[in-house]
């Protein structure tokens, strides 16, 4: 049986009002800048010419040149860049882990950042969200696997970076053969008991920091060897959590297993700290019969300050987007009801701003 061809993903377009909002200015100032400042993208006039449509690269250029958002050393060139590594992790499928990963990356690029995604999940869902189809466009040699086999290879992980349809966003894709790492790494430990199996990715990612503002890791929903490597390579961790009982129990299991692992690694002389750990409640059902209020209280008692004040509501926009291998950030104005999209996109935008503001403080301080 032949499979139907998948359409090539296209980045959204932005109205004048949307570009103004991204820049933190009003339409009047945007129109004044269009008329007076050279070098700013002009967009494409629509209809009578009073309204304009901007591409994603146009919108990002406006943000970088017009907004009050702090621009990083990577953009200004004032000193060497020092990208931050964020892991998005959860043990349970259906937790919105991969969709959240993509939304964080897209949201950060809309603040002018340059972002790299590293897909460490053999299911390769993030790779497909990036517009690459694992069954025909990605091979084992396109993934992190060759680096796992040969960490001393010339060029390191930079060899496997690919551009995506989304300006400012690159990816190291995944493929089902990533499962091979789960045999190779323990095999190496058997041959060399002193081998630091948890440190492979951290070493490889260090050389990527100078090329990106953020490097975001998406892992399989299990404590695999690649997940362990991601846990040890990350500067910070985001755990999307659906406020349902099974999801909560799974999250507790995650931390129990990771605690045991961390104790083992500490016994071998390594330590691990994070800039932050954040639990993001996602797919929150605010209906009268929902179990979310009860489970939210469990989450708050268990994770305390880790629980984000931002919550992402359950929405048909998210479900429909997932079916089309898209996120709410992929939707241009008019594709869906604006209120429906904004209901999900706004909290994600707020959450992205919260993360970025934390690291802006470090960049300002030269850290």
Q: Is the pLDDT of residue 317 over 60?
A: no
Name the least confident of 136-145, 229-238, 331-340.
331-340
CATH number of 11-68: 1.10.1660
Alpha carbon 31 to its chain centroid, in Å, reads: 33
Which pLDDT band holds residue 323 (cuts at 50, 70, 90)?
very low
Q: Is the pLDDT of residue 273 over 80?
A: yes
Fold observed for domain 72-364: Rossmann fold (3.40.50)
Q: Is the pLDDT of residue 291 over 60?
A: yes
Give the three-class secondary structure for 354: helix
pLDDT digits (tens, 9 = 90+) for 29-40: 999 999 898 889
pLDDT at 193: 84
pLDDT digits (tens, 9 = 90+) for 246-255: 999 988 888 8
Distance (Å, whole) CA 279 – CA 251: 10
pLDDT at 318: 56
Distance (Å, whole) CA 125 – CA 174: 8
pLDDT at 346: 94
> Pairing between strand 51-54 and 307-313?
unpaired
pLDDT digits (tens, 9 = 90+) for 143-193: 999 999 999 999 999 999 999 999 999 999 999 999 999 999 989 889 988
Mean pLDDT, the chain, integer: 89
pLDDT at 347: 96
Q: Is the pLDDT of residue 111 over 80?
A: yes
pLDDT digits (tens, 9 = 90+) for 7-56: 678 999 999 999 999 999 999 999 999 989 888 999 998 877 678 999 99
Alpha carbon 186 to its chain centroid, in Å, reads: 28
Which pLDDT band holds residue 125 (cuts at 50, 70, 90)?
very high
Contacts of residue 107, defined as CB under 8 A and 6 or more positions apart, other chains included, come to: 329, 348, 349, 351, 352
pLDDT at 270: 79
Domains 11-68 and 72-364 share a fold: no
Q: What pTM was estimated for this model as a whole?
A: 0.93
Nearest residue to 96 (alpha-carbon basis) of 315, 283, 298, 348: 283
According to the 3-state scheme, what is the secondary structure of 133-179?
Answer: CHHHHCCHHHCCHHHHHCCCCCCHHHHHCEECCCCCEEEECCCHHHH
Name the least confident of 68-77, 152-161, 222-231, 336-345.
336-345
Which pLDDT band holds residue 82 (cuts at 50, 70, 90)?
confident
Q: Is the pLDDT of residue 218 over 80?
A: yes
- Residue ranges of domains in the chain: 11-68, 72-364
pLDDT at 257: 84
Q: Is the pLDDT of residue 350 over 70?
A: yes
């Amino acid at each position: 049986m032949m499979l139907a061809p998948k359409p090539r993903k296209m980045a959204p377009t932005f109205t004048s009002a949307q570009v103004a909002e991204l820049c933190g200015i009003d339409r009047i100032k945007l129109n004044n800048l269009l008329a007076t400042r050279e070098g700013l993208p002009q967009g494409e006039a629509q209809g009578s010419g009073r309204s304009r449509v901007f591409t994603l690269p146009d919108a990002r250029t406006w943000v970088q040149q017009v907004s009050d958002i702090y621009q990083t050393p990577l953009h200004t060139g004032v000193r060497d860049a020092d990208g931050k590594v964020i892991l998005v992790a959860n043990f349970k499928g259906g937790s919105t882990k991969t969709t959240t990963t993509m939304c964080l990356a897209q949201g950060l690029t809309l603040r002018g950042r340059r972002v790299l995604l590293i897909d460490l999940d053999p299911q390769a869902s993030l790779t497909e969200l990036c517009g690459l189809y694992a069954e025909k466009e990605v091979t084992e040699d396109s993934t992190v696997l060759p680096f796992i086999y040969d960490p001393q290879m010339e060029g390191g992980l930079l060899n496997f970076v690919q551009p995506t349809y989304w300006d400012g966003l690159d990816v190291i894709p995944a493929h089902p053969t990533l499962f091979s790492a789960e045999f190779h790494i323990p095999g190496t430990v058997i041959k060399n008991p002193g081998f630091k199996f948890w440190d492979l990715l951290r070493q490889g990612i260090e050389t990527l920091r100078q090329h990106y503002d953020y490097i975001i890791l998406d892992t399989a929903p299990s404590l695999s060897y690649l997940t362990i490597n991601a846990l040890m390579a990350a500067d910070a961790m985001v755990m999307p959590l659906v406020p349902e009982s099974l999801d909560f129990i799974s999250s507790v299991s995650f931390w129990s297993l990771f605690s045991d692992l961390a104790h083992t690694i500490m016994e071998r002389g390594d330590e691990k700290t994070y800039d932050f750990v954040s639990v993001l409640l996602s797919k929150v059902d605010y209906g009268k019969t929902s179990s979310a209020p009860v489970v939210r209280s469990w989450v708050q008692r268990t994770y305390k300050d880790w629980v984000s004040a931002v919550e992402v509501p359950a929405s048909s926009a998210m479900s429909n987007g997932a079916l089309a291998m898209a996120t709410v950030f992929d939707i241009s104005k008019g594709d869906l009801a604006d209120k429906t999209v904004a209901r999900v996109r706004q909290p994600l935008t707020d959450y992205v701003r919260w993360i970025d503001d934390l690291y802006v403080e470090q960049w300002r301080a030269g850290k």
